[in-house]
Amino acid sequence: DTEVTQTPKHLVMGMTNKKSLKCEQHMGHRAMYWYKQKAKKPPELMFVYSYEKLSINESVPSRFSPECPNSSLLNLHLHALQPEDSALYLCASSQPPGPSRNTQYFGPGTRLTVL
């Protein structure tokens, strides 16, 4: 099973709302990732968690707050977003970095629209 699930599939929110994106995997992976993808652009890395600890934050604004409650779950809490934050948000998981262990498996994404 190489499935990463993400909920919701679509989300529309106002700039004053607070919402959360959820990601789940049951492959025993200990590294999880959030990416942001704008239309017709490649995915951009936002955060990396390794063994449930934040290991990489790519200078993401504080209105995005990641959380890794356990090894299978990854959340992205959203607050006071701007319309330019509208994008496809992708979650991925992999084994922790190591030789031939960095294959990332992606979820289907959450399409976020900020009004």
Question: Which structure tokens are listed for 104?
Answer: 């990332």
x-or-dash string of contact with another protein, 7-46, rule CB under 8 A: ------------------------x-x-------xxxxx-
Which residue number, 44 or 67, has a Cβ lying nearer to another protein?
44
Q: Does 86 bind another protein (CB under 8 A)?
A: no
Look up tokens 């704008």; give the residue.
Answer: 38
Cβ-count burial of 17 within 10 angstroms (0-12 exposed, 13-18 middle, 19+ buried)? middle
For another protein, which stretch binds (CB under 8 A), given 12-20, 60-68, 73-81, 106-114?
106-114
Report residue 82 CA to chain centroid gap.
Answer: 18
Q: DSSP for 38-88?
A: -TTS--EEEEEEETTEEEEE-S--TTEEEEEEETTEEEEEEES--GGG-EE
Give the N- to C-terminal CA distance of the chain in Å, as an integer: 36
To another protein, the closest distance from the beta carbon of 47 in angstroms equals: 10
Q: In the range 44-63, which residues lie near another protein by CB under 8 A? A: 44-45, 48, 50, 55-56, 58
Q: Does 69 bind another protein (CB under 8 A)?
A: no
Q: Which residues bind another protein (CB under 8 A)?
A: 2, 4, 31, 33, 41-45, 48, 50, 55-56, 58, 88, 90, 92, 94, 96-109, 111
